[in-house]
Amino acid sequence: MSSSREIKQLQKAKSKAQASRNLKEEANICNQLGELLSKTGDYEAAIKEHQQELILSEVLNDVIGRAVANRRIGECYAEMGNIEAALKHQRCHLTLARSVRDHAEEQRALATIGRTFLFRYESDQSKNSLKQAEDSFRKSLAIVDERLGGTVPQREISEMKARLFLNLGLVFDHLGEPKHCSKFIRRSVFIAE
């Protein structure tokens, strides 16, 4: 199905949820619409959907819904190159995830923050950006290793680790440390295989 057709279907479903005053369903559809708009590169429209999702999640007292909406808004801002706005929303995601002790969301928040620092490095070429990315990825990895066992399927844990090792490999590649880079990328490939 084409993206534009899928967007129209979601907009219709959203109108139906609004008419029936089903706030939870409306928030869910805003999330899906925002993701789809983001995939098509329409980040401003995606942000509007996720902002609406955020407002609805606040009304519903849905802390994780608020956290996810902030993450998505932050990802859109990062794609648009607005790193400070991205980090503001991503740190809010982290704070909300920690407030309800949702370790999987906390891990996602730290990984997302790390990726945003990698984005920032592309423009500022500063070692500080790389160090902050490394710090976020290592904290995320610690959560995967220490807190997610038994609460998240093993396959998902493996995928998380593979992505984090790959990202750490990228950090060390940019730092000009080929041994560390190679070590992390090999670990990522081993897990992925």
State pLDDT tens for residues 157-186: 999 999 999 999 999 999 999 999 999 999
pLDDT tops 70 at residue 150: yes
How large is the average pLDDT for residues 35-45? 97
Tell me whether residue 168 is in a domain.
no
Entry field: residues in the chain: 193
Give me the number of domains the chain comprises. Answer: 1
Largest Cα–Cα distance in the chain?
59
- For CA atoms 30, 34, 35, 36, give the dihedral sign: positive
Tell me whether residue 73 is in a domain.
yes
pLDDT tops 70 at residue 84: yes
Residue 3's pLDDT band, with cuts at 50, 70 and 90, is confident
3-state secondary structure of 15: helix
Angle between helices 103-124 and 83-99 (to 10 degrees): 160
Distance of CA 19 to the CA centre of its chain: 31
Q: Among candidates 55, 47, 64, which has minimal Cα distance to 27?
A: 55
DSSP 33-73: HHHHHHHTT-HHHHHHHHHHHHHHHHHTT-HHHHHHHHHHH
Residue 55 structural domain: 1-100
- CA distances from residue 64 to 56, 90, 143, 154, 167 in whole angstroms, order as listed: 12, 13, 18, 22, 25
How large is the average pLDDT for residues 135-150? 94
The rounded distance, in Å, linking the Cα atoms of 31 and 50 is 6
pLDDT tops 80 at residue 20: yes
Global pTM? 0.92
Q: Among candidates 92, 95, 137, which has minimal Cα distance to 114?
A: 137
Tell me whether residue 165 is in a domain.
no
Tell me whether residue 167 is in a domain.
no
Question: For residues 160 and 111, is the Cβ–Cβ distance under 8 A?
Answer: yes
CATH classification at residue 4: 1.25.40.10
The pLDDT score that the predictor gives to residue 149 is 84
The pLDDT score that the predictor gives to residue 133 is 98
How large is the average pLDDT for residues 14-34? 96
- CA distances from residue 166 to 107, 120, 140, 144, 151 in whole angstroms, order as listed: 15, 18, 13, 15, 23
How large is the average pLDDT for residues 99-105? 96
Tell me whether residue 142 is in a domain.
no
Tell me whether residue 118 is in a domain.
no
pLDDT tops 70 at residue 52: yes
Residue 50's pLDDT band, with cuts at 50, 70 and 90, is very high
Tell me whether residue 8 is in a domain.
yes
Please enumerate in sequence order all residues whose Cβ is within 8 A of that of 64, keeping only pairs 6 or more positions apart, or say none.
96, 97, 100, 102, 105
The pLDDT score that the predictor gives to residue 1 is 62
The pLDDT score that the predictor gives to residue 95 is 98
Mean pLDDT of the chain: 96
pLDDT tops 70 at residue 193: yes
How large is the average pLDDT for residues 108-120? 97
Tell me whether residue 192 is in a domain.
no
Output the six-digit token pair for 89.
Answer: 């929303």
% of the chain beyond a pLDDT of 90: 95
